Structures are given as C-alpha cells and as structure tokens.
Amino acid sequence: MKLTQTVFEALDRFRIEIPSWGFANTGTRFGKFIQPAAATTTEEKFSDAGQVQALTGVCPTVALHVLWDLPNGLADVPEVEKLAAHYGVRPGSINPNLFQDQIYKYGSFANPDESIRREAARHAELCVEIAKRLNSRDISFWFTDGSNYPGTANIRERKHLFTEALKRVHRELAADQRMLVEYKPFEPAFYHTDIADWGMALLLARQAGPQAKVLVDTGHHYASQNIEQIVAWLLDENMLGGFHFNDRRYADDDLTLGSIDPYQVFRIFHEIRFYEWDAGKQADIAYMIDQSHNLKGKIEAMLQTVGMAQELFAKAALIDYKRLVRAQKNADLVAAESCLQDAFATDVRPAVWEWRESKGLPRNPLEAFRGSGYLERITEERAARNAAGISSYA
C-alpha cells in the first residue's frame, strides 16, 4: 500500500512536454524515410499530440518550433490558439530556428557578419514575443554555431558575441518567462562548437541574466559521460531549467527514452529527487521530450517514451533517502548502492497501471492507441501528401 501511495504521489506531479516535430517526417543528413501517417501540418501535429495527452494524461503541452509551426510568426498565433483549444493541448516551450536558414551557414549569434547577427537577434526577439502571446514560459535555444577547421574562427570573440546576444534577448523576457540555453559537443560544427558543454551553457546563462537556465539534452553528451553528476551540479547552482529526454548509443541518437540505458535515466531522476528531499521543495524543471523517429511509428514511440519516463520517475520515488544518507555518512558502500538498486529493481508497473485507472485513463496507452483506429484513419488521410513530400517540416 505504501508503494502504491508513493507512486501515486510521484505521478500526480510529473508532467512531460512533447515536441511537435516528433510527429512530422524528419531525417538525418542522409535523407528521410517517409511515414504515411506522419503529420504534414501544424494542425495534424496538434491532433497527434492531443491523442498522446488523451491516452496518458501527463502531456498537456506541446513544444512548438517557430519556423515549422509558426512560419508567419505572430500572424499564426490565433490559429495556434484555436488548435490548442480544439485538441486539448496547450502551447509549451517556443523553439527558435537559428540554424536552418542559408544565412546561418557560418553561425547565428556568433556569425562574423554583423547584419546576420542582427537578423538572428530579431528572430530570437520575435520568438519571445510569440511566447508572450501564447502564454508560454520557456524559450528554448539551441545553436549550431561553431567552426569546422582550426584557425577559421576567433573562439574568444565568438564567446563575447554570444554573451551580448543572449543578454539582449534576456532583456525582452517577461517577468515570468525563462530562457533555456542548450549545449551540444559537436555536429554540425566538427572542430569547435560555441556552446559545447554544460559549463559553457552555465556561464553564458549566468551572464545573460537571472531568468536564464541550462537545458540538458540527455543525448548531447559523449559516451559514458556522467550526466547525473552534471544534473546534480546544476541543481546545486540553481541553474537547471529543463531536459530534452531521449536515449543514445553513441551521441544524440534520438532513441526512445530508456531503450539503451534506463538505469542512467533512473539515476538522473534520483539526483533530482535527492535534491528535492534535501531542499524540502520541488525543483522547477521542465521535463520535455526531443525525439523524432524515422523507423518507429511516431505516436507509438512517443507513448513508449512517456510510459518509460513515468516508470523510471516512480522507481526513483521509492528510494529511502534517510537510509541512503545514513549509509553515505557511514561510508557503507554496499548499503548505499543497494538503496538505488533496490528501488530500480522494483516492479512499479502494477502501481502505474492502477494510477492510470484511477484517472480514467487506459491501463496500457500503447495498446489502447493500437486499438483506437486513429492510426489507420490518419494514414488514409495523410498518405498521399506524405508520398508527395508535403510537410511543414522543411
């Protein structure tokens, strides 16, 4: 009974944002594998996101990409508001596009051309205004800026350019908004990346202003990197703003959460729960998914990730922190490690199923989706457009 109550309390507070682009045809630098049921319009993305929310009850917001979802900027805001009301999901984080336009070939905020830096700043400020109109708190920035060859860029100068640009955007934020600064060690800049790790993101966020935080994408790390230590440090510095959840075998593979290393995700949740237990308050963290699948069915993959996230979050809630702290202070390594291993080994699925039923949700969202007929319907409606290559994802 205590286990079930603990799981219920954990799941009652756990919400996950899903990405609009996760429902569209996307691909790698080598090309796309088209899915006949993929969303080809912003409305279809909202429809698919609404299905995930209806089946899980924990995904009330959808992350929006300005170029792909609001190509006309502020003019598209009324339509997005209508779609949100109709499909039962609210606009979530707003994601600028400072990497796809041809002018960003040599960077955005750190581009050597001042006119292009001004254009990047205008786009970022537009995204802040869109977020204000849609009542979205977080504007999530990811940059491809960097260089491919030694000696081709002044790394220190580019650091200063980023600092000034982020400060400028920060000044446009409303009092309740946040700027999330993401990092990535490589791709497409293969010699140096301007924001390559959590330390660089931390420094730039601090210099930008008090409403800037760091965004941790679980795929944006080298193999075997201790992501949970990064999480613990950012929590302690009050600088962890959110996550982009996925999994990877090497780096940034966009795999469904927990498909490679569920114990790592559990350890990340443990560090968050441990911080909250220690601090006596809930951490202000945006839990977001950043995945777009080319082989798995897009809605099915999203349901898999949401379900896995719930189970791992519930497992982390079972850790006995009084026992853990006692073992740590006594340097009882076996007892301390067992606190984590015992919680991770616990089968929380019956409690998760019971929680869903208590909310009027299907016990197995994936199974319910497969039996709903929704996939067959959208496949019939969208197949021709997908075959013709029509998509709002450019």
The percentage of residues in the chain with a pLDDT greater than 90, rounded to a whole number, is 92
Determine the longest span between alpha carbons in the chain, in angstroms. 65
Q: Is the pLDDT of residue 394 over 90?
A: no
pTM for this one?
0.95
Helix or strand or coil: residue 17? strand
Nearest to 76 by CA among 63, 67, 89: 67
Average pLDDT across the chain, whole number: 96
Is 386 part of a structural domain of the chain?
Answer: no
Reported as a single tens digit per residue, the pLDDT across 49-104 is: 999 999 999 999 999 999 999 999 999 999 999 999 999 999 999 999 999 999 99
Question: pLDDT value at position 390?
Answer: 60
Instruction: For residue 108, give both structure tokens.
Output: 């955005």
> What is the b/e burial string over 80-113, where b = at least 16 CB atoms within 10 angstroms of the residue's CB?
beebbeebebbbbbbbbbbbeeeebeebbbbbee
Q: How confident is the model at residue 31 (pLDDT cuts 50, 70, 90)?
A: confident
CA distance to 108, 112, 166, per residue, from 115 (Å): 10, 9, 16
Q: What is the mean pLDDT of residues 203-207?
A: 98
Number of domains in the chain: 1
Measured CA to CA, the distance from residue 216 to residue 73 in angstroms comes to: 27
Between the alpha carbon of residue 327 and those of residues 277, 332, 343, 389, the distances in Å are: 16, 5, 15, 58
pLDDT tens for 220-262 read 999 889 999 999 999 999 999 999 999 999 888 789 999 999 9
Q: Does pLDDT of 391 surpass 60?
A: no
Residue 389 in any domain: the answer is no
pLDDT, greater one: 100 or 358: 358
* Residue 359 within a domain: yes
More reliable by pLDDT, 301 or 30 = 301
Q: Are strands 178-182 and 212-217 parallel, antiparallel or unpaired?
A: parallel
By C-alpha distance, which of 115, 53, 3 is closest to 289? 53
* pLDDT value at residue 71: 96
Query: In this predicted model, what pLDDT tens digit does every residue of 43-53 receive, in sequence order?
Result: 999 999 999 99
Does residue 241 or residue 32 have the better pLDDT?
241
Mean pLDDT, range 27-35, rounded to an integer: 79
CB 242 within 8 A of CB 180: yes
**Strand, helix or coil at 133?**
helix
> What letter does residue 256 receive in the DSSP assignment?
P
> What CATH number corresponds to the domain at position 211?
3.20.20.150
What is the residue range of 372's domain? 2-380
Quick check: is 394 in a domain?
no
Predicted local confidence at residue 63, as pLDDT = 98
